[in-house]
Amino acid sequence: MLRLNNLHKRFGSVTALDGLSLAVPKGSVFGLLGPNGAGKTTSISIAVGLLKPDSGTVDLDSSGSPLDPAVRRRIGIAPQALALYDELTAVENLDFFASLYQLDRPLRRQRAQSLLARVGLTDRARDRVKEYSGGMKRRLNLAAALIHDPPLVLLDEPTAGVDPQSRNAILDIISSLRDEGRTVVYTTHYMEEAQRICDLVAIVDHGKVLAQGTVDQLIASRGGASVVTIETDSGHHRIETADPVAELTARLRSSDVRGVRVDRPDLESVFLHLTGRSLRD
Asked if residue 116 lies in contact with residue 158, where contact means CB atoms within 8 angstroms, the answer is no
Q: 110 in helix, strand or coil?
A: helix
Q: Which is nearer to another protein, 77 or 218 (CB)?
A: 77
d(CA 87, CA 131): 9
Q: Which is nearer to another protein, 128 or 196 (CB)?
A: 128
Q: Which is nearer to another protein, 4 or 219 (CB)?
A: 4
Distance (Å) of CA 57 to CA 20, 122, 151, 153? 10, 41, 20, 19
Nearest-approach distance from CB 190 to another protein, in angstroms: 21
User: Does the footprint of another protein cover residue 83 (CB under 8 A)?
Assistant: yes
d(CA 33, CA 55): 23
User: Does the footprint of another protein cover residue 180 (CB under 8 A)?
Assistant: no
User: Does the footprint of another protein cover residue 82 (CB under 8 A)?
Assistant: yes
Three-class secondary structure assignment of 205-265: ECCEEEEEECHHHHHHHHCCCEEEEEEECCEEEEEEECCHHHHHHHHHCCCCEEEEEEECC
Of the candidate residues 12, 69, 106, 259, the single one contacting another protein (CB under 8 A):
69
d(CA 159, CA 134): 10
Q: Which is nearer to another protein, 82 or 262 (CB)?
A: 82
Nearest-approach distance from CB 252 to another protein, in angstroms: 55
- Pattern 100-129, binding to another protein, x per CB under 8 A? xxx-------------------------x-
Which residues between 35 and 64 bind another protein (CB under 8 A)? 48-51
- Choose one: 32-40, 88-96, 235-243, 266-274; the region binding another protein (CB under 8 A): 88-96
Q: CA dihedral defined by 81, 206, 163, 192, rounded to 10 degrees?
A: 150
Q: CA dihedral defined by 174, 177, 136, 35, rounded to 10 degrees?
A: 30
Nearest-approach distance from CB 132 to another protein, in angstroms: 15
What are the backbone dihedrals phi and psi of residue 201, each rounded to the nearest 5 degrees, phi first? -135, 140
Which residues between 124 and 143 bind another protein (CB under 8 A)? 128
Of the candidate residues 36, 99, 168, 214, the single one contacting another protein (CB under 8 A):
99
User: Does the footprint of another protein cover residue 72 (CB under 8 A)?
Assistant: yes
User: Does the footprint of another protein cover residue 77 (CB under 8 A)?
Assistant: yes
253: number of Cβ within 10 Å: 7
Q: Which is nearer to another protein, 84 or 121 (CB)?
A: 84
Asked if residue 264 lies in contact with residue 226, where contact means CB atoms within 8 angstroms, the answer is yes
> Can you give the binding site for another protein, defined by CB under 8 A?
48-51, 69-70, 72-73, 75-77, 79-85, 87-88, 92, 96-97, 99-102, 128, 144
